[in-house]
Amino acid sequence: MDLEVESEVWNKWGDMCMSCGSCAMVCPTCYCYGIEENADLSFTQATKQRFLYSCNLVDFASVAGDHNFRPEPHIRLKYRYYHQFRGFVEAFNQSLCVGCNRCGVACLAGINPKAVIDDLNETERRGTSRSPATTSTGNPS
């Protein structure tokens, strides 16, 4: 399956996204994580903790220098869908999504994979998917 990169559909659903990260937190296959390091001021002890994180959260793609590679919700939403439905397929020949819709149930904005992908397919079928206003930064995989 391929997904349209330059589509107005991403803006439409991204505008509804509140960047809460709930979709990834309940997803049985999402595995993005963050790492927090804390060092004691005496430098005799330190901890490094890995925790579940979401690529929909605002600072997921933040790096040094206060730069954010995916500053807008629709870009982060697109990235998550690309990882689930395209990048993983290319790498492992199967979708990362098992179709459980746990993300759809958890999402207070009503965003779910079936609705988004149906919208992409329908918009593509009508031939109205490309939007000059759409930015495509974020390096979806």
The footprint of ligand SF4 on residues 65-124 (CB under 6 A) is: 84, 97-103, 106-107, 109, 111, 113
56 sits near ligand SF4 (criterion: CB under 6 A): yes
CB of 15 to ligand SF4, least distance (A): 11
CB of 111 to ligand SF4, least distance (A): 4
- For tokens 């918009």, the residue is 123
Q: In terms of CB distance, is 128 or 135 closer to ligand SF4?
A: 135
Element (H, E) at 34: strand 33-39
19 sits near ligand SF4 (criterion: CB under 6 A): yes
Q: In terms of CB distance, is 28 or 39 closer to ligand SF4?
A: 28
- In this structure, what are the phi and psi dihedrals at residue 68, rounded to the nearest 5 degrees? -120, 120
Gyration radius of the chain's alpha carbons: 17
Q: In terms of CB distance, is 14 or 134 closer to ligand SF4?
A: 14
Which string of b and e fits 3-42 if b means at least 16 CB within 10 Å? Answer: bbeebbbbbebbeebebebbbbbbbeebebeeeeeeeeee
Reduce the DSSP state of residue 50 to 3 states and report it.
strand
Footprint on this chain of ligand SF4 (rule: CB under 6 A): 17-23, 26-29, 56, 84, 97-103, 106-107, 109, 111, 113
